[in-house]
Structure 1
Amino acid sequence: MSIIRTPRAAMLLACTILATLGAHQNQVLHAADAPAPQADVAPGYEAIAEKIAAFVAAEQASKNLPAVSIAIVSGDQIVYAAGFGEQHAADGSRADRHTIYRVGSVSKLFNDVAVMQLVEQGKIDLDAPVSKYLPDFKPENRFDKEPTVRQLMNHQSGLIRESPVGNYFDANQPSIAETVASLNDTALVDEPGAKTKYSNTAVSAAGLIVERLVGKPFAEHLQATLLEPLGMESSSFLRADVPAEQIPDAWMWAPHFPHDPPRARFAAPTFDLGTLPAGNLYASVDDLANFLIALFDGGKFHGQQIISPATLAAMLKPVGAGKEAKPLYGVGFRVDQFDGHPTFGHNGAVYGYSTNLIGLPEEKIGVATVCALDGSGGFVHRLTEYALRLMLAQRAGKPLPAIDLTTPLPAGQARALAGLYQNGDRTLRLLADGNQLLLSHDYLLSEVRALGERLIVDDPHTYGPEITPADDGQSIAIAGETWTRLPDAKPAPCPAKWEGFLGEYGEDHNILYIYEDRGQLWALIEWFYNYPLTEVSENVFAFPNAGLYPAEQIVFKRDANGAATEAVAADVTFKRRNFGDFPGGVFQIRPLRPMEVLRTEALAATPPKEARPFRKPDLAEPSKLDPTIKLDVRYATDRNFTGVPVYESAQSFLQRPAAEATVRAHQVLKEKGYGLLIHDGYRPWYVTKMFWDSVPDNFHGFVADPEKGSRHNRGCAVDLTLYDLKTGEPIEMVGVYDEMSPRSFPLYPGGTSLQRYHRELLREAMEAQNFTVNPIEWWHFDYNDWQQYPIVNKRFEDLSK
């Protein structure tokens, strides 16, 4: 299939997401039905194993989590190691202790141990400038100090987070040397030693020092001097060196993807990172447990000294920089407290995986946990901490603690709480997505679930804080702060000077979204992080001084018409993604075969037979029940996605209860100055078959399967939008009708606050009348009793016969 006016690349992500949504539609787990874990349990730890298995089963059921593995260490022994869930859908294999995951930034700990081995050999002076070992290392430096090797590893070098080449977004797999060399095109953002600023490129520069000094590739050197001595036989810094059959299916998702269970997702990319030492290690939890055992034994594993006890102690000594919140860093390790116990460790977040490794050095208890889902750090961290609490309780002879499990919100609560709330000069938003409630706050969009009578943020990415609604529904409390509901005011239009910036940038595996919200430009980066931008100059905007990119900027480049062609965000170049040109607001494709051929075949076909009893169809026209409802029935013209008329007349019908409900929604909207404009309602079955046969498989998420019949065929689905009562003109939405792209998702975050306000206004009005929005199409609403009506295959002209 070739696309007319629509670049294929811009549509690919939507097709991929929808394909996996369909593939997982029947795979939602239930805790009681979850297969038994693939587990090994030391004697005396069976009760802990049961607690963990029950928690993971419940979380996999509620969050549809894929493969999960965990290992618990006590002293020099792995007392529990288990895998949960499916390793590969293709063969039904199960995850276990030997499943190999990419562990993200846990890789940094191994890089830093490799550096310290060379320190012990007298080859590296930690407090020498980086240029002593990398003479060609020359980022712009306006300060009097040069960064030291130590500062590369404790994140006080002043370097940017990501390099222009080989950054987290770069799928070209450059070498470590090429990645670090690109730092010469950047400038230090902070004085070395003045502030802790997390940097993948800094750790990679330390890895390059190792590579240069030993005269071998980094991955090869670490394999021989660290991974093999630690008995990490299945681990490697290169994906190609790991048995593919032991790497689980790994997945990406985002909070704005369709939420209709299960969450839509797509397969994680597999390219090796240019920042290899900072985030590319592949390891099993079994192998990570060996690392913990060595750390508990003063750097020794099975009698072989990996690093000395004194060196290890130096690595675990926290280094502060100014007035900073915990956790602090030692040499590589995050050093913190857990329930009053000192800890060391690190977490990892990389395409398709979330990892947590924590050790309690005084108790010699440690846990390594990994999940094959991007952005599942909230779950992984919670599981790790629960395992630690179970171990501490058992060691103290106390009852094993339970852990809270959340449940979906009661019907109607999400819509009742939805709105904009204010605390001082700050705002947050609660969004209703059906019966799910989402909180937009502290740079994140997170799901809110019920915890008994309370509410709490709980999704794969984040757990907590609790939310307490006031009895009058006019305020909520979060972490001791009260947020007051604001009136549902219509936003002002986006400032014209920013319109050229709005859109998507980058590649499918990691998109940068630039959007406007309430008079401010925002960036959504790395799928989860929403940052307000501060205008520095006409084309330059600053990230907030918090989050992933403090003190860094986005610089836009524009064409002659003022439209941005690329965004250089934190020194990473993101090219603009083009959704295509839709003349007259009409999305079109080129059908696979001529539509007249498809029409002949469809008219000769027979709809699926249905045995259950149905109500007698009673199709009515909403526009005749209320003549102020407008019609734009594009399927009666060539202004539709097929490019040819498929209806013989511009009419729109719905089953009478649905038609009357549509009129009621229209009447409510009229009070706010809007009316409904209908594109389609009842659709003869043969037209559904024409649509299905006209598009390739990867677009089938946007058209109904004729073998099942559609809700349109039953007269209980309506496609519509808003129009302005004063002008009679349609209201501009984020995307156009029938657009087969992620812009059609009801929670798509892009565009302007005014566009999203109108999209939500339409949805709220329809849902109040017992309609439900389609999970992937903001304009498509299904009436709640659609199952009570049969599939109908009559032309409009034959309905009265």
Structure 2
Amino acid sequence: MPTQEVEEFLLAKMRESKLPSLAAAVVKGREVVYARALGFRDLESGLPATPGTIYGIGSITKMFTALAVMQLRERGLVDLDDPLAKYGLGLTIAGEDVTIRHLLTHTSGVPALGYAEALIDGITGARDVWLPLATPEDVLAFMRGAGSWAVDRPGRRMFYLNEGYVLLGKIIEAASGLSYWDYIKRNILAPLGMRRTYLLREEVERDGDVAAPYIMTRRGPLRSRIPFGISSDGGLLSNALDLSKFLATLINRGTLEQQIISKESLEAMERAAASWNQQYLTGEDYAQYGLGVMSYKFFDVRVLGHSGSVGVYTAFLGYIPEEDIGVVLLANSSGYPLAYMGLYTLAAATGRDPNKLPFIRYEKTLKALEGVYETWKGAYRLYLVVRNWVPYIVERTRYGATEIPLFPTAIADDEVVFTAIVGGRRLVVTATLNPPTLLYERYKLVKKS
């Protein structure tokens, strides 16, 4: 793997988005071929991160929950088409039962209810909201009557629903006779030797290598708190070395030291069942969703895995089973998307050109266009600035500034066509790269700096 290239990219993105630390590992076959941590796990104490540092993994937890459901299915204890009512969790929409399959694929028809967002923002102080849901049972009380929130019948559309994976945790308990956490420990973590993967506060507090949680503010990272209370939808905490064992198991079709899931069940999890309904701005599809597994379009193959975020921690795990390779990335705040960092790393590790990834292409285009533009002999000046992937045309005078966002409609190697809304009218703005030039309203403007 071109280690220097990858680390330069990771460090550049950490610097741009002010991430305190990042832990990464690359697995090839059954072996960890790269393990590295950059930055500080604790800024105030000046403690460096390590590949073994504990971070929250957010929605990567859903892969563990889905795998547990598939294990129970193999044992004949659940069927994916069981209605939730069988487990005392009845949810009916337009006269149709919601099933386990609907929850796994986020196709219940119920849009996100926002419990996790409110819980995290309340604990971290990010918003003036307070929803103290400390247990899955609290979440069940919160979502009572949520069938009335549905916008479609089950199985027709994907709406990412954290609450659905809370319900799956309760189904695992009902079917197995164990608590969710005991089931995960006994049937996934222990067989894989993942001894430093946690859910409970007391477990985390006993570990001496835990990344401090930081909320990202306009001024940079601000120390915060871990949002305990999230469970089967996003509550696990782990480290790059433990997750490498999980990654190796997925790459090797369910088997590491022992088999924890059949190849057939794993392939069923990975098979796309719902569209994410998102595209890169360059036009390519972003991802699809299976049974707890995301499927990212990646050159001529698919990267399987999941991303995760609980605000103060972000994470990405992705693998290409046909090429026996995967990557995990963990950070102790929110910044540049770790999914993008992971896909960049996988491109470099597999001999592909990371600069051809759609988000890298668009990002490079925006950076090339950003700057000061002037008309003939500098008679009129505008600025093109980029914030959160959105370019703006800015006119500044000593009395104030006007900002107009630009939305790309066509992207080529040397030209981007944008749409702007000016005075209630749609306006086409054309930007060319060689040299950077804007055709905006009645003006031709050339980049000066």
Residue 41 of structure 2 aligns to a residue whose secondary structure is strand
Question: Which one of 57, 60, 79 corresponds to residue 14 of structure 2?
Answer: 60
Q: Judge conservation of contact 1:468–1:478 (CA < 8 Å) in 2.
A: no
For 1:121 and 1:288, locate their aligned partners in 2 and report how far apart those are by CA, in whole Å.
25
For 2:182 and 2:432, locate their aligned partners in 1 and report how far apart those are by CA, in whole Å.
49
Q: Judge conservation of contact 1:390–1:401 (CA < 8 Å) in 2.
A: no
Q: Bigger shift: 170-179 or 94-103?
A: 170-179
Q: Judge conservation of contact 1:75–1:296 (CA < 8 Å) in 2.
A: yes
For 2:90, give the aligned amino acid. F
Q: 1:431 to 1:154 in 2, by over 3 A?
A: farther
Q: 1:167 to 1:58 in 2, by over 3 A?
A: closer
For 1:241, give the aligned amino acid. E
Q: How is 1:203-282 mapped onto 2 (pairs within 5 angstroms)?
A: 203-242=165-204, 243-253=206-216, 257=218, 263-274=219-230, 276-282=231-237
**1:438 shift after superposition:** 9.1
Tell me the matched-pair count: 392
Q: 1:63 to 1:170 in 2, by over 3 A?
A: closer
User: What is the match of residue 256 of structure 2?
Assistant: 301
Q: 1:173 to 1:476 in 2, by over 3 A?
A: same
The yes-or-no answer on 1:88 pairing with 2:88 is: no
Q: Judge conservation of contact 1:273–1:279 (CA < 8 Å) in 2.
A: no
User: What is the match of residue 70 of structure 2?
Assistant: 116
For 1:184, give the aligned amino acid. R
Question: Which one of 97, 111, 115 corresponds to residue 160 of structure 1?
Answer: 111
Q: 1:158 to 1:401 in 2, by over 3 A?
A: closer
Residue 197 of structure 2 aligns to a residue whose secondary structure is coil
Over residues 402-426 of structure 1, what are the superposed CA-to-partner deviations in whole Å (9 max), with x where a residue is unaligned? 989977998756982259xxxxxxx
Q: How is 1:597-746 mapped onto 2 (pairs within 5 angstroms)?
A: none
For 1:161 and 1:231, locate their aligned partners in 2 and report how far apart those are by CA, in whole Å.
34
Residue 382 of structure 1 aligns to a residue whose secondary structure is helix
- Runs of 4+ in structure 1 off by over 6 angstroms are 321-324, 398-411, 465-469
Residue 96 of structure 1 aligns to a residue whose secondary structure is coil
For 1:417, give the aligned amino acid. Y
The yes-or-no answer on 1:104 pairing with 2:55 is: no
**1:173 shift after superposition:** 4.1
Over residues 570-596 of structure 1, what are the superposed CA-to-partner deviations in whole Å (9 max), with x where a residue is unaligned? xxxxxxxxxxxxxxxxxxxxxxxxxxx
Q: How is 1:505-584 mapped onto 2 (pairs within 5 angstroms)?
A: none
For 1:81, give the aligned amino acid. A
For 2:417 and 2:22, locate their aligned partners in 1 and report how far apart those are by CA, in whole Å.
26
**1:322 shift after superposition:** 11
Question: Which one of 94, 98, 102 corresponds to residue 143 of structure 1?
Answer: 94
Over residues 20-60 of structure 1, what are the superposed CA-to-partner deviations in whole Å (9 max), with x where a residue is unaligned? xxxxxxxxxxxxxxxxxxxxxxxxx5xx2222222223333
For 1:157 and 1:316, locate their aligned partners in 2 and report how far apart those are by CA, in whole Å.
19
Q: Judge conservation of contact 1:152–1:206 (CA < 8 Å) in 2.
A: yes
Q: 1:352 to 1:441 in 2, by over 3 A?
A: farther
* CA RMSD between the two structures: 4.1
Q: How is 1:412-427 mapped onto 2 (pairs within 5 angstroms)?
A: 412=372, 416-417=382-383
For 1:356, give the aligned amino acid. F
**1:162 shift after superposition:** 2.5
Q: Judge conservation of contact 2:58–2:315 (CA < 8 Å) in 1.
A: yes
**1:170 shift after superposition:** 5.6
Q: 1:142 to 1:337 in 2, by over 3 A?
A: closer
For 1:400 and 1:411, locate their aligned partners in 2 and report how far apart those are by CA, in whole Å.
22
Q: Judge conservation of contact 1:98–1:284 (CA < 8 Å) in 2.
A: yes
For 1:290, give the aligned amino acid. K
For 2:6 and 2:211, locate their aligned partners in 1 and report how far apart those are by CA, in whole Å.
21
For 2:403 and 2:188, locate their aligned partners in 1 and report how far apart those are by CA, in whole Å.
44
Higher relative contact order (CA 8 A, sep 6+): 2
Q: Judge conservation of contact 1:163–1:183 (CA < 8 Å) in 2.
A: no
**1:126 shift after superposition:** 0.7
For 1:52 and 1:76, locate their aligned partners in 2 and report how far apart those are by CA, in whole Å.
21
Q: Judge conservation of contact 2:201–2:228 (CA < 8 Å) in 1.
A: yes
Q: How is 1:335-354 mapped onto 2 (pairs within 5 angstroms)?
A: 335-354=295-314
**1:73 shift after superposition:** 0.8
User: What is the match of residue 381 of structure 1?
Assistant: 339
Residue 301 of structure 1 aligns to a residue whose secondary structure is coil
Residue 184 of structure 1 aligns to a residue whose secondary structure is coil
Q: How is 1:489-508 mapped onto 2 (pairs within 5 angstroms)?
A: none
Q: Judge conservation of contact 1:194–1:322 (CA < 8 Å) in 2.
A: no
The yes-or-no answer on 1:358 pairing with 2:303 is: no
For 2:241, give the aligned amino acid. D
Q: 1:146 to 1:361 in 2, by over 3 A?
A: same
**1:483 shift after superposition:** 9.8
For 1:269, give the aligned amino acid. R
Question: Which one of 212, 227, 239 corresponds to residue 284 of structure 1?
Answer: 239
User: What is the match of residue 529 of structure 1?
Assistant: none
For 2:190 and 2:418, locate their aligned partners in 1 and report how far apart those are by CA, in whole Å.
48
Q: 1:136 to 1:59 in 2, by over 3 A?
A: closer
Q: 1:410 to 1:109 in 2, by over 3 A?
A: closer
User: What is the match of residue 678 of structure 1?
Assistant: none
Residue 362 of structure 1 aligns to a residue whose secondary structure is helix
Larger Rg over CA atoms = 1
For 1:289, give the aligned amino acid. S
For 2:22 and 2:354, locate their aligned partners in 1 and report how far apart those are by CA, in whole Å.
26
**1:265 shift after superposition:** 3.7
Residue 167 of structure 2 aligns to a residue whose secondary structure is helix
Over residues 62-113 of structure 1, what are the superposed CA-to-partner deviations in whole Å (9 max), with x where a residue is unaligned? 4332100111011111100100011112332211210111111111000111
For 2:312 and 2:225, locate their aligned partners in 1 and report how far apart those are by CA, in whole Å.
8
Residue 52 of structure 1 aligns to a residue whose secondary structure is helix
**1:282 shift after superposition:** 0.5
The yes-or-no answer on 1:131 pairing with 2:85 is: yes
Identity %: 26
For 2:55 and 2:371, locate their aligned partners in 1 and report how far apart those are by CA, in whole Å.
38
For 1:362, give the aligned amino acid. E
For 2:111 and 2:57, locate their aligned partners in 1 and report how far apart those are by CA, in whole Å.
22
For 1:137, give the aligned amino acid. G
Point out where structure 1 has 5 or more consecutive residues left out of the alignment: 1-44, 258-262, 420-426, 443-452, 456-464, 488-801
Residue 143 of structure 2 aligns to a residue whose secondary structure is helix
For 1:154 and 1:393, locate their aligned partners in 2 and report how far apart those are by CA, in whole Å.
32
Q: Judge conservation of contact 1:106–1:355 (CA < 8 Å) in 2.
A: yes
Q: Judge conservation of contact 1:279–1:350 (CA < 8 Å) in 2.
A: yes
For 2:240, give the aligned amino acid. V
For 1:361, give the aligned amino acid. P
For 2:107, give the aligned amino acid. Q
For 2:432 and 2:213, locate their aligned partners in 1 and report how far apart those are by CA, in whole Å.
34
For 2:200 and 2:431, locate their aligned partners in 1 and report how far apart those are by CA, in whole Å.
47
The yes-or-no answer on 1:190 pairing with 2:145 is: no
For 1:411 and 1:399, locate their aligned partners in 2 and report how far apart those are by CA, in whole Å.
25
**1:249 shift after superposition:** 2.6
Over residues 160-216 of structure 1, what are the superposed CA-to-partner deviations in whole Å (9 max), with x where a residue is unaligned? 313669855564242112212332232233210011111101111111111223333
